[in-house]
Amino acid sequence: MRFQTPLVPARLLRRYKRFLTDISLEDGQEVTAHCPNPGSMMGLSEPGTRMFVEPNSDPRKKLKYAWRLVDHQNGHLTGIDTGAANKIVKEALDARKIALFKPYKTLRAEVKYGTKSRVDFLLTETGQKDLYLEVKSVTLMRKQGVAEFPDSVTARGLKHLQELARVVQMGHRGVLLFLIQRSDCHICEIARDIDPAYAEGLEEAVARGVEILCMACHLSEDEIEIDKPVPFGL
């Protein structure tokens, strides 16, 4: 997924109301930028954090900048846009980059299923079980090299686990893909201390046949794209 316009560096002054950030551009100008991440952003939103924002000239948008990356200033980046995760995965699915999904040629997004839910992607192919795919963006790292999910309690995420388990019971495949939008992690784990109910729900879903896939990303100031699978530690 390429960014639509070149990113510009900035410093975070403060994040508030979840979706708003005050930032300082390199020329010293202070502006308000959109934060496309409703989560806690633990470890990523401290004042002074170096960041990259994407400018826009769309007259319909009130805010002229949107936060895209955290620059850890050690050669590593984190993509903070949770909405970008599905775009990144869709590009990889269309290009058939993920081995697990190569048998499937038909892809639909945001398909209704379960109890008032929409699955991120439904993959179908003659001779194959229908595959229901949920994508979760992972940005938390508390231990060096270890990505963790979630970064806050997620009732919605627990519901998705339960929905996936149900479609597996109906004879389909249910896959949960953890997309690690960090360049400094080589394994993915569950943050059990943050959301014990989610951890228990995941264990139950796996026991019922839900499949887990973790994918790393290659990140740059130009784009974010799927890289390779990484191990998952339940």
Domains, in order of start, for the chain: 8-79 (2.40.50.580), 84-233 (3.40.1350.60)
Residue 183, pLDDT > 90, answer yes
| pLDDT score for 7 | 98
CA dist., res. 22 & res. 35, Å (int): 10
Helix (H, G, I), strand (E, B) or coil at 167: helix
Average pLDDT rounded to a whole number, residues 7-33 = 97
* Nearest C-alpha neighbor of 104 from the set 121, 85, 87: 121
Average pLDDT rounded to a whole number, residues 156-182 = 97
How do residues 132-166 score in pLDDT, each as one tens digit? 999 999 999 999 999 999 999 999 999 999 999 99
How do residues 42-52 score in pLDDT, each as one tens digit? 999 999 999 99
How do residues 216-232 score in pLDDT, each as one tens digit? 999 999 999 999 999 99
CA dist., res. 181 & res. 201, Å (int): 23
**What is the model's pTM?**
0.95
- Residue 182 is given by DSSP the state B
Q: To the nearest 10°, the Cα dihedral for 187, 224, 179, 55?
A: 120
Task: Tell me the residue ranges of DSSP E strands in 17-105.
Answer: 20-25, 30-34, 50-55, 65-71, 77-79
CA dist., res. 65 & res. 9, Å (int): 11
CA dist., res. 28 & res. 25, Å (int): 5
